[in-house]
Each structure stands twice: as C-alpha cells, then as structure tokens.
Structure 1
C-alpha cells in the first residue's frame, strides 16, 4: 500500500485507455517537447566550432562564419528532407521505418540501433551540458557535476512517467523562455555592436591568413558545428503523438523549429566572432556573450538559467522519441515486447525507465563531460540521417509520384551532405568515435538473436504445427514438507483434491535421529499419505529434493504420467515480514522452473496476525 501511495504521488492517478486522445500534443506543446534537443544545441554547437579552431589560434575564429553558413545549408536540407518523410510515413518511425522499407531490414536495424543509442546520448549530453551552464554561473558547484546530472535525469524520468501532455505543459515554459532570452541577447548584442558600445578590434578580420590552418581542421570544425543539428529527426519519429491531422501538424512544427534554430545558431556564431569569445573549460561561450552584453546582472542570470533549463530539459526529446522508436522495433520483434506496454499514464513507461537508467550509466562512465560525449552523439545521429535520405531516394525512384524529381533532388542533396559529414567524423575524430564500429554491429547481432528467439517461440506455440499433443495418463504429486503444520495440511488437502492416490510427501532430514522422529509423527498424523525421507549430509534441501524429483519424473514419463510439485508457502500479514523467514519455497520453485516435464504449484497459506 505504501509503495502504491508513493507511486501515485510521483506519477499520478492511472488513466483509462479511452483517455489516450487527450494525451496528444498540439503544435505549441510539440515544439517544446520535441524541439528542445535541437534548439538547446545552440548553447554548445557554436562553441564546438571554436574549440577546434582555437587549436590553430584565435586568429582562426573568422572561419566560424563560413562554417556556420555550411551548417545552415545542411539544416535546410535536413528540414526539407524530414518534412517529406513526415508525409510519406505519417505513422512515425523516422529513419528506422524509411530505411527498413526501402533499403532492407539490416539498413533499418543500423538506423534504429544508432537512434536508440543516440537518444540515450541525447539525455546524457543535454543534462551534462545543462550542469555545465549551472556551474559556469556558480563555479563552487563544479565538484558536484556528476551528482547534479544524475538528479536531473531522475527528475525528468519521473516527469515523463506522468504522461506526455503533462511533461509538455511543464516543458513549454522553459523552452519558450530560452528562445526569448537568446532572442533578446542577440538583438541587444548587435545593438551594442552597432552603437560601438563594445571593445574594438577583439577579433581578426575576415580573410586574415592563418598559419597552420588545414582542410582537416576545417572539416573537423564543420563536423563539430553539425552537432547543433542533432534532434532534427525527433519530430518524424513522434508523429503519433500529434493531434489530428498529425502529419500536417508535425510538418508545421518541424518548419517552425528549423526557423528558430537557424536564427539562434547564426546569431550566436556571429556574436561569438564579433565579441572575440574564446573557448573556456569553466565558462561557456553563451555565458561569455551574455556577460559581455549585460554584465553579471539580472539578464545574465536569466539567460544562464534558461540555458541551463533547456539543456537539461532537452533530454525530454529523447524521452519522447526513444519509447516510440522502441515500439516500432518491438512490433517487428527485434527488441523485447515489454516496450509495447503502456503504463498507468498511457506512456510507454518501460522505454522511459530503461532510457533513464542507461543515461545515468553513461553519465557515470564519462563523468558528465560534454566534450567527450558530443562526438559520439553527433556521429551516431548522422548515420541514420544518411540512411533516411538514401531510403527516400530509393522510394521516389521506385514509386515516381507527382513532383518526384524535386523530392528526389532534395533527398539526394541531403544524403550527400550527411554521408560526407559521417565520413568527416570518422576521418577527423576516429579516436573519439571508434567505439561505434564495435557497439553498432553488436546491437544488430542482438536484434537478430532476439528476432530469432521470437520466431522460434511463435513456431512452437502455433496450434497449426504438426507436433502431436502429449497424452497424460495420470498425475503424481510431490509435496515437499518441512514439518507438521497448517501450511503443510493446507497443501496436502489441495493435493488430495487433484489426485488422492498418487501423493508423495518428501522430507529432507539433516540428522538420522530427526528423520526417525519425523517418520513416527507423520504415521500418526497422515497415515494415508506416503512419506519419503531423504538424508542430506551437506545440509542442502535443494540438491536431494531435485535429485528425487528427477528420478520420479524419468519413471513417470515412461508411463505417460505428469509430475506436479505442490509447494507449501505461508504468507505473512505484512510484506516486510518476509525478510524474517528463509525463502525455501522460492528457491525450490526457481530450481524446478526449467525442468521440462514438471509442473510447479504454490499453495499459499495466509497468516492473520
């Protein structure tokens, strides 16, 4: 009862199945819950470009402008491509469904596996970046980065277990406050620059030759900046969460997200260059721009606060998309069917819980260091990006609908850019992302093994198979007994109702004297029930009992008899009292569970006080 009360307090009352329609998202809420990942990457994407360029020198910062333009071109291609995916596959599933239907099952599994891992990284990166923003404003909190990040993951997990619309209602405010805060920062920042209210000559002029600049460094900076585009695909995965007409609402939300992302990203890149911002381990680029623009006053802390909030809550994109992608994989029998189950609040709670646990493990493994997580995160998402665009190319070539040439060109451009960036990641950051080459094949292997298991189970369970049914001539009932009690009496009465003539009570004795004493008492108490006593020289109940049951089962199977083990068990009035008793019945049940021809029945005896 206490656990149930705590669950109700944290998650809320259960919802009826017919209330599912009320859990659909409007465009306003969808932008908050599904775009927070992409929008939040504005807080670290431009900075990732500067970190790479800084390895050459501050004079190289002007290269962030053409690199930023390249990222915006890529963003445009992705937005247009995923808009087409939304209308072509309104049931959702995104890159997994597109790749599976057009490029084959293995391509779909590569996309699906990449995205599952990427959504786990979404949570880890977002929360880690959010704690970085908090510790930039309050340096004394630096030693508690990992602890803070884990607490935030737990809170967001609980929030999502409460349901889609409830989490969206809460998330909408921080997301729109973040957009407002950065909009004000960009406008005021450019106003200060226009009025000459900043320090002059803080940056090298555009076109300044930079010694040591190579194509390799430029490509690496471009791939780092492309991390700002992670999360663009989330809307196409979560179309079923939208109110009707779902596809149209999803497409409008995607375009709105693209416009906001383009404005905020280009504004931060320009301000970082014009202010001469240099990367700092303890102070983020946005923090430096805000301090330069407003000083350490209210607006600075407002910007840092909303940035930290959206970075942390951007994890919610993963919580929205991961369970729905898991549902599609589970329907195709590539991951456990438990991911298909809706929880009390009509969300796919198993997916939400697994995502939270996996994210905490990653945060602990990488010590909440954003710069170590981002390369793996960005590389993982561009693999399904590439597969999705290629899959759409194949779809248009095969189906040739009206206007297919324009659609084909859009997806071709998108596929070419995404594939190029994937190659750039592997060439320039192989040392940080090589693990993808190990875990991705491993995940696909696991998918196939799970699918093979489900296929085998289905074949064996179908009544259309030619396997002959087993004929049962009778039933031999074995009752393990530990003493002469009401618990044993209750189990014997049940056994007699099944097969009064084929009952064997089994007692395991540790000493010879105890064995004789029990046999005498049994004859006086249950003379009609056969008793077998087994001597245990090593004080084990399980070993002699299972050995005896195996012997009986072998002989019974020859005569087409079924062996049933009836296990007596008393249930204390209060659940916590279970720890005061040994769990012999549980151990016996566990050891016998995998015996092929043995049926196990537990007969509970409930204590009243």
Structure 2
C-alpha cells in the first residue's frame, strides 16, 4: 500500500510539479500580458472559425451572396464594442469576479443567476470542445492523412491541456503566451500582406461580387442566421470579468486594461479575415478551413503558410484554456452558494481548483466523442449559451444603476441597455433561425436549475441537522483511553463523536487542520466558547492536505502514549446521508483519512456514524 502511495506521489509530482504552499498564492496572480494570453485566447481564436460560419450560411445561396459578409462583419464589430463597454462596467462594479452569475443573482434574483451560471458552466465545457475540435481541424487541413483520427487527437489534446492547468495558473499562462502572440503576429502578417497585394494589384479583382449586387433568393431570415453565426466570434469576451480575482493588484484596473486590449486585437483580426475572405472569394470547404485557404492564396504552400496553420492550430487548441481558467472560478462561486458540490472549493497542490479542472476535462472529452469532433454541430449551442448570460448580466446592471443611482448612472445604464437589447436580439435570432440546433438549451437548462436547487436543499437540510443551538450541547462525563478526534468544524457530528470519545478515553484531544491563519483563529475562538473542557490542537497545513499533518500528530501522540503504556484511538466522525447520490456532494475526507490510518501500525481507528434523516 505504502509503495503504491509513493509511486502515485512521484507520478503526480512529475506531471503537475511540486506542491505549493498556501502563502505562495499571491505569486500565482497574473499581470496584464499573461492574463491577455490566458483569458483572451478563446475570443481571439474564434476569428479562425467565426468568419467561416458566416460564409457557410451565405454559401447556401452561392458566391454571389458573399458580399453580405461585409455589413454582417460591421454588425458583429458594433456588438463587440457594446460588450466591451458593458463588461468594463461590470468589472468595476464587481471587482471580486463572478461575472454574469453574480450580477444576475444580485440584481435579478436567484433563478436568473442560476440560469446565467448554468449556461456558463455548460458553455465553458463547449469552449474546450469547440476550441480543441477547431484546432484539430486546422491540423488535419495541413495534414489530411490524420483526418480520420481527429477524435483521438482532440481527446489527447484535452488531456494535455488539463495537465498543463493542473500545474497552476502562472505556469499555464507562461506556456500560453508564446502561441497566442505568435498567432496574433502571424494573422497580422497574413492580413497586411493580403491587403498589400490588393492595393498593389497583385490580388485577383474578379473573384468577388461587388458590394450592393442584387442577390436572388436572399432573405432577412438567412441574413439574420449568418449574423448569429458570426457572433460566435464574440464567445469568450466575458471570461475576463469572471477571472478578476486572478489578476495582480489593482485587479479591477488590470482586468479592464486586458479586456480593452483583447477587444482591440479581436476587432482588427476579425475585420481583416472577413475582408480578405470576401475579396479573395474564399468558399468554405469541409476538408480545409477558410484561414488555410486564405494563407494558401496569399503565401502559397510555403513556410509562412505552415506558420499560419501551425499557430492557428495551437491557439485553437490552447483557447480551451479560457474555459479551464473561468470554469473553476465560476464553480467556486456556485459551490460557495451551495448549488454544486463543495469539492469545487478545494485548491489542489498547485493552488488551482483542481477538481473543477479535472471535471471540465472529462466532460469536454465526452462531448468531443459524442459529437465526433464536428465543430459545426457545437458552435450554435456554444454561442447561444454565451448570449443568454450576456443578456442577463446587462439587464442586471440596468437594474443596479436604477436602484443605486451612482455618479453618471444614466450614461452607465444606457451603455448596458444597448448591450442588453443587442444581446437579446442575438438570442432571439438564434432561436428563430437555428432552433433545430439550439432547442436542447430549453431542455438542459431547466434540468440544471432543478439540480442546483436539489443540491442546495440537501446542503441546507444537512446544515439544519448538524447545526448546534447555543446552550443546548449535551455534557457527558465518561472515561476511557487516549482518543484523538479529527474535527472539521462545530457540528452535531463532532458533538456526537466527542461524547463517544469521552466514553472511551480519559484523554480526549480534538484536532483541527487549518489551511490559513484566519480559519485557524476563528476555530480556536469558537472552540473556547463551545468546548473549553476539551483540548483543541490546531495544525496548519501549508499544502492543504488533511492526512499528512494529522498523521504527523498521531505519530507524536503514539510516542508519548507508548512511554506511558497507553493506547491511541483515532475516532473519525462520519455522517451518513439518507440517499446514496448525496455522497457525491460531500468531500468524504473522513473516508480518505480512515483509509490512510488503517494501514498505520499500533493505531486503533474507529468511525462514529451520525445518520441524517433528510
């Protein structure tokens, strides 16, 4: 058993690095340049498939309709400007992060917040799936012989990105910065070279339809559908507002600067790709992306072509990192409010919320396998999942400004009102024009909200059963041997275990493991008021481990007990849930501790169950 533990520990350290101390958390904060790489990769990478989605819709009419991509692109840029201004205000109003979930919850009510939070949780899973699938498409465009293996390639890439994120925010940002900025540079060279060829007369002038040409068969319905497809290029804009706590101080100002830089770069790249695709008469192909065709047309299949394709594939794959950055933080907010399992609150060895990272990776792989890596099938669902929270957050800010009326509140309200109206329009367009692809939102969102409420009801029921009313503690005087009771707080489970410990031991020691000085101080103060007759030992765990500090303390107690001919019993409190599915909502740290201690010599391990009734 110990050999397996050692091997696991060595493998874990090799994959994700040495554990970090809690006090090193400040070193994991991001500056603007690294944050731009890690949080804007999703938005910037979407220029590789956003324009293509517009052309795919227009291609149903024919090449003659491609000139409509120009006004559609302008419309998308107007929406981008509205979103940047709106989210700039959200960051300053909510500097502790949370984005659409917190804004909607605080201003529109619980269910509105849950709709926004649930949509974004699903959207971040789709972010990873879409980004990696699109990146795999770019790889197979350059190397067609791998086309039949794209699901396996995409799944392997998700595993690699998951491991990268488990290594910590700073390390993943350091890795991401290079491909993101190389991608931006490569596309800027592509766009500027293409524009130069147009201005110098080297580019063909007869392969595109002049703007304003009458197109038979065109309809408002089709144009709205093309516009909604182009809006997929705006996914990821909200990620900065969710991740404000990850920024170095002043966090809000750095987050806003990052948001504005991202918007400026995105506008240049999107408009450049849209214009070149129109001018060069690029037609979407199943086996080759629009960017690949454009690079081939501008550079030929030379070194620069492979640079563009390589950096495009890299950023499309690594754009999944936006989901890995935002999903765990959103999960923390929802878990803090007791809507999802509390395991999402636990920081891993590298100070990231590793449970959220792992769950996101697994869910994304399942989605890639289910959809066979077909990006086109995922993008409409992906985009509508973003614009629902967009709409709710903008509406929530309108309510906030009207209620609080701060300085310049009218201007702020108008900005959010414009953003809300445009986002609502996009949502309606999605449901009207792409209902066959997005109808599942109307099914899974209510299911998710129902699940959120069931989980919170469970946590509230547990809290009600475990909460101790002041002055109603049972005082029992029993005797026995040396008993060590690991405690996680002041609850009926702990009280029940302490009462039994008094029955079996004449020395009872409660042991509490604190991850930070604040929680250690709070526990000691509460304990003095609650159980002053029982000694509390607080252990500080710099690496957020429960078993290691308790094991060291038990070893020390064993030495002292051996000298005085006493035995040591470790009495582990354990509450038993009424329904089996409730077990997944709790960390089960007592089971892990028991599993560890049962293999230690000369330690008696006892579990005291406390059964919940609801």
Fold match (TM-score > 0.5) = yes
**Is the Cα contact below 8 Å between 1:171 and 1:313 reproduced in 2?**
yes
For residues 112-153 of structure 1, what are the alpha-carbon distances to aligned partners after superposition, in whole Å with 9 as ceiling and x for unaligned?
000000000000000000000000001101001000000000
Structure 2 residue 176 is the aligned partner of structure 1 residue 171 = yes
Please state whether the residue corresponding to 2:12 is helix, strand or coil. helix
Looking at structure 1, the residues matched to 85 and 358 of structure 2 have their Cα atoms a distance apart, in angstroms, of: 33
- The answer to whether the Cα contact below 8 Å between 1:240 and 1:246 also exists between their aligned partners in 2 is yes
Partner-residue secondary structure (3-state), 1:243:
coil
Contact 2:69-2:274 at 8 Å conserved across structures: yes
1:206-225 to structure 2, matched below 5 A, reads: 206-225=211-230
Tell me the alpha carbon deviations over residues 493-532 of structure 1, each in whole angstroms, 9 at most, x when there is no partner.
Answer: xxxx959xxxxxxxxxxxxxxxxxxxxxxxxxxxxxxxxx
**Paired position in structure 1 for 2:149:** 144
- Give the distance between the partners of 1:255 and 1:295, measured in 2 at CA: 34
| Pair 178,595 (structure 1): closer, same or farther in 2 beyond 3 Å | closer
RMSD: 2.4
Q: For 1:434-471, what per-residue CA distance to the aligned partner results, in whole angstroms no more than 9, with x for missing partners?
A: 11001000000010011111111111111118988598
Q: Deviations over 1:236-293 (max 9, x none)?
A: 0000000000000000000000000000000000000000000101110000110000
Distance 2:400 2:387 in 1: 20
CA contact (8 A) 1:459 1:465 kept: no
Aligned-partner Cα distance in 1 for 2:91–2:56: 35
Provide structure 1 residue ranges, at least 5 long, that are not aligned to the other structure: 476-496, 500-591
- Name the counterpart of 2:277: 272
CA distance in 2, matches of 1:90, 1:357: 31
* Correspondent of 1:183 among 180, 185, 188: 188
Q: 1:447 aligns with which of 442, 449, 452?
A: 452
Cα displacement string for residues 18-65 of structure 1 (whole angstroms, at most 9, x for unaligned residues): 100000000000000000000000000000000000001110000000
Give the gaps of 5 or more residues in structure 2: 1-5, 481-502, 506-574, 580-589, 603-614
Instruction: Describe the superposition over 1:178-229 as per-residue Cα deviations: whole angstroms up to 9, x where unpaired.
Output: 0000000000001111111122300111111111100000000000000000
Distance 1:193 1:112, change over 3 A: same
Check the 8 A contact 2:29/2:247 in 1, yes or no.
yes
Aligned to 2:420: 415
Contact 2:34/2:177 (<8 A) preserved = yes
Q: Which residue does the alignment assign to 2:75?
A: 70
* 2:294 is the alignment partner of 1:289: yes
Secondary structure class of the residue paired with 2:204 = coil
Residues in 1 aligned to 2:439 and 2:144: alpha-carbon distance in whole angstroms: 33
Aligned residue for 1:205?
A: 210
Distance 1:40 1:446, change over 3 A: same
| CA shift for structure 1 position 474 | 12
Q: Distance in 1 between matches of 2:8 and 2:112?
A: 43
Q: CA deviation at 1:607?
A: 9.1
SS at match of 2:206: coil
TM-score by length of 2: 0.78
Q: Is the 8 A contact 2:205 2:279 kept in 1?
A: no
Asked which structure has the greater CA Rg, the reply is: 1
What's 2:249 paired with? 244
Deviation string for 1:555-595 (max 9, x for gaps)? xxxxxxxxxxxxxxxxxxxxxxxxxxxxxxxxxxxxx9779
Which deviations, in whole Å up to 9, do the C-alpha atoms of 1:330-357 show, x marking residues without a partner? Answer: 1111111111110000000000000000
Aligned match of 1:58: 63
Whether 1:121 aligns to 2:117 is: no
Report SS of the residue matched to 1:281.
coil
| SS of match in other structure, 2:301 | coil
The corresponding residue for 1:492 is none
> Who is 2:92 aligned against?
87
Give yes or no for the alignment of 1:434 onto 2:439. yes
Residues 220-231 of structure 1 correspond to what in structure 2 (within 5 A)?
220-231=225-236
C-alpha distance in 1, partners of 2:473/2:457? Answer: 24
1:594–1:311 CA distance, 2 compared to 1 (3 A)? closer
Q: 1:377 aligned to 2:377?
A: no
In the superposition, relative to structure 1, how do residues 135 and 469 fare at CA in structure 2: closer, same or farther (>3 Å)?
A: same
The aligned counterpart of 1:24 is 29
Q: Is the 8 A contact 1:127 1:315 kept in 2?
A: yes
Where does 1:211-360 land on structure 2 (aligned, <5 Å)? 211-360=216-365
CA gap 1:471/1:262 in 2 versus in 1, 3 angstroms: same
Distance 1:60 1:9, change over 3 A: same
Contact 2:38 2:322 in 1 (8 A): yes
Superposition pairs of residues 423-572 of structure 1, within 5 angstroms: 423-464=428-469
In structure 2, what is the Cα distance between the partners aligned to 1:605 and 1:232? 50
Give the distance between the partners of 1:254 and 1:452, measured in 2 at CA.
37
TM-score, length of structure 1 as denominator length: 0.78
Give the aligned length.
495
Segments of 4+ moved more than 3 angstroms: 465-475, 592-596, 599-608
Q: Indicate how the Cα distance of structure 1 residues 357 and 604 shifts in structure 2: closer, same or farther if over 3 A, else same.
A: closer
Post-superposition offset of 1:472: 11
> How far apart in 2 are the matches of 1:411 and 1:229?
17
Please tell me whether the aligned partners of residues 237 and 324 of structure 1 are also in contact (alpha carbons under 8 angstroms).
yes
User: Equivalent residue for 1:111?
Assistant: 116
Deviates more, 1:454-463 or 1:139-148: 454-463
Counterpart in the other structure of 1:43 = 48
Q: Tell me how far 1:6 sits from its aligned partner.
A: 0.6
* 2:478–2:504 CA contact under 8 A, matched in 1: no
